[in-house]
């Protein structure tokens, strides 16, 4: 069982907006040093997710449980690579042995928080539109109300995503339990939401480019995305960004 550090440990610090792009840059530089190993990691992750996606009903639940395990493994691998160590193929499962329980708990906790947030947002949106339940009635609303509802929904989902952004790193690098990892992630994310948003937009743009050549670029995009989270953790909670 994980013994979480005291509440004052790993306090987040504010970083400049431009660091959101630097997280992606530094992640790319780190992945570029051992590209074949990272591609192998991404292939294992995608292959397992595809297999789970074929399972009816239980496949979605297993996918939610497995995703944080891989996220934690990628973060641990990034930490080793950042020290100049050579990665081994088995490290794609590095978090499965020592952090399986808290990371699975993190996945389930975040899923529950996301469902709750969606319900609260839907109740709020229905209140704003006068209790309408018919989608056709909602579409007939003035454009201003539709834009307000869309902005509230997008903002709520963004805040909910901040609960998870730093959480896998908080579990494997700082020893937080799932709930405290999510609280620490939210604190760091809210403090640095412009940088996190910039990083997310940059990754989304790169994802679009990665999907163009038959999706093959996804094998490099995935490691960059996961390693960018490690870079963000180092910048906000750790020793700062490396100089490359």
Predicted pLDDT at 1: 45
Provide the percentage of residues in the chain whose pLDDT is more than 90: 57
Average pLDDT, the chain: 86
Phi, psi angles (nearest 5°) of residue 84: 90, 10
pLDDT tens-digit readout, 158-203? 888 899 999 999 999 999 999 999 999 999 999 999 999 999 999 9
pLDDT above 90: residue 226: yes
Cα of 190 vs its chain's centroid, Å: 14
Closest C-alpha among 197, 192, 93 to residue 154? 197
What DSSP assignment string belongs to the chain? ---PPPTTTT------TTHHHHHHHHHHHHHHHSHHHHHHHHHHHHHHHHHHHTSTTHHHHHHHHHHHHHHHHHHHHHHHHHTTPPP-GGGGGHHHHHSHHHHHHHHHHHHHHHHHHHHHHHHHHHHHTTS---HHHHHTS-HHHHHHHHHHHHHHHHHHHHHHHSHHHHHHHH---HHHHHHHHHHHHHHTHHHHHHHHHHHHHHHHHHHTTTTTTHHHHHHHHHHHHHHHHHHHTSS-----
Low-confidence winner among 57-61, 141-145, 200-204, 226-230 (lowest mean pLDDT): 141-145
Instruction: Quote the pTM value.
Output: 0.86
Report the greatest alpha carbon distance in the chain.
59
Phi, psi angles (nearest 5°) of residue 7: -60, -25
pLDDT above 90: residue 119: no
């Amino acid at each position: 069982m994980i013994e979480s550090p005291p509440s004052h440990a790993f306090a987040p610090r504010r970083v400049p907006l431009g660091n959101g792009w630097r997280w992606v840059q530094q992640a790319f530089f780190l992945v570029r040093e051992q590209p074949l190993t990272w591609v192998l990691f991404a292939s294992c992750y995608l292959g397992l997710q595809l297999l789970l996606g074929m399972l009816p009903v239980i496949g979605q639940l297993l996918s939610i449980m497995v995703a944080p395990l891989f996220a934690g493994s990628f973060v641990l691998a990034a930490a080793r690579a950042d020290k100049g160590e050579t990665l081994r193929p088995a490290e794609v499962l590095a978090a499965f042995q020592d952090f399986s329980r808290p990371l699975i708990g993190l996945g389930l906790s975040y899923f529950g928080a996301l469902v709750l947030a969606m319900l609260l947002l839907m109740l709020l949106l229905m209140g704003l539109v006068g209790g309408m339940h018919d989608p056709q009635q909602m579409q007939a609303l003035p454009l201003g109300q539709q834009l307000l509802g869309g902005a509230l929904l997008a903002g709520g989902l963004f805040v909910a995503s901040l609960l998870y952004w730093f959480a896998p790193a908080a579990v494997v690098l700082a020893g937080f339990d799932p709930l405290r990892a999510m609280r620490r992630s939210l604190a760091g994310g809210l403090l640095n939401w412009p940088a996190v948003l910039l990083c997310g937009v940059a990754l989304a743009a790169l994802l679009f480019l990665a999907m163009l050549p038959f999706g093959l670029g996804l094998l490099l995009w995935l490691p960059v995305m996961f390693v960018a989270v490690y870079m963000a953790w180092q910048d906000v909670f750790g020793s700062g960004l490396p100089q490359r």
